[in-house]
């Protein structure tokens, strides 16, 4: 039996953090860390990841819910150009599904979600030395301060989905 593979691009916070979160999930096969650009007003690159996953193991709705909980998806802070809160789609079909998922998830949050749903235009990988940032040295001060709290939340809220 051939396994089904889908992909989605996600941005919101530091790509080191986002990479670590999604690398910790059952059903995620690969995470590409780097920078994503969209179209229109969003052609500037922003830190993001491309998540390759098996939808039979982890549905898109769960990936998006995890994404919304593991970055400041309701905060329009001053670093939103570098850390654009977005879900980037690869097809119009995917766009429609993501739009409905966001509507369905909004009641879980007290404040309005600012996460944008944008077309994927291009990707530039980060330097090879930055890939697997958390996995290479989870004891770095940055990892302890920023990534480990996200992984703790992930384990508490989505324990059946994680490998951590």
pLDDT, tens digit, 9 for 90 and up, residues 91-149 = 999 999 999 999 999 999 999 999 999 999 999 999 999 999 999 999 999 999 999 99
pLDDT of res. 140? 95
Question: 3-state DSSP call for residue 84?
Answer: coil
Topology at the third CATH level for domain 6-161: 3.30.1060
Percent of the chain, pLDDT > 90?
A: 84
pLDDT of res. 4? 77
Q: What is the mean pLDDT of residues 38-48?
A: 95
- The pTM of this model reads 0.93
Domain boundaries, the chain: 6-161
Sheet hosting strand 122-125, strand order edge to edge: 116-119, 86-89, 6-11, 46-53, 28-37, 122-125
């Amino acid at each position: 039996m051939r396994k089904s593979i889908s992909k989605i691009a996600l941005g919101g916070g530091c790509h080191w953090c986002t990479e670590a979160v999604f690398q910790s999930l059952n059903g995620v096969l690969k995470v590409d860390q780097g920078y994503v650009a969209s179209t229109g007003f969003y052609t500037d690159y922003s830190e993001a990841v491309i998540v390759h996953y098996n939808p039979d193991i982890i549905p898109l709705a769960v990936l998006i819910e995890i994404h919304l909980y593991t970055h400041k998806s309701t905060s329009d802070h001053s670093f939103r150009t570098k850390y654009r809160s977005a879900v980037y789609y690869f097809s119009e079909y995917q766009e429609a599904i993501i739009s409905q998922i966001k509507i369905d998830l909004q009641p879980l949050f007290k404040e309005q979600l600012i996460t944008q749903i944008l077309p994927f235009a291009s990707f530039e990988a980060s330097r090879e030395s930055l890939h697997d940032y958390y996995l290479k040295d989870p004891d770095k001060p940055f990892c302890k301060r920023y990534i480990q709290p996200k992984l703790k939340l992930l384990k508490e809220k989505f324990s059946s989905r994680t490998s951590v």
